[in-house]
Amino acid sequence: MTEPPTHDVKVECYAGYRGEESPRRFTVAGRQVEIVTIEARWQEPGRRGFRVRGDDDRLYRLRQNESSGDWEVAPVSPAIAADPDSVGS
């Protein structure tokens, strides 16, 4: 079963030369996770999302509300991680 997303999260991003921001690390419940790789990116209406691997070797789904700037994070279950077609799950 997938855990519900946590909405109280701080995400630090890097903006490259094109101005496109990419998450680099996030802090949730006082614990900081460095992002090792961005495995997928996608756009949803009013949101952008990322599937990332943390330095704890877990996969996470990060989504940002584009109008408010707020982020949410949720762990990605192993079954979803194994399915390449489940980008936004």
The residue-averaged pLDDT of 22-32 equals 93
Give SS3 for 80. helix
pLDDT of residue 85: 53
52-61 burial code (b ≥16 CB/10 A, e <16)? bbbeeeebbb
Question: How far is the C-alpha of 72 from the C-alpha of 18, rounded, in Å?
Answer: 24
In this structure, the number of other CB atoms found within 10 A of the CB of residue 24 comes to 13
Average pLDDT over the chain, rounded to whole? 84
- Residue range 35-45, pLDDT digits in tens: 999 999 999 99
pTM of the model: 0.77
The residue-averaged pLDDT of 53-73 equals 94
> Would you say 2 and 74 are in contact if contact means Cβ atoms under 8 Å apart?
yes
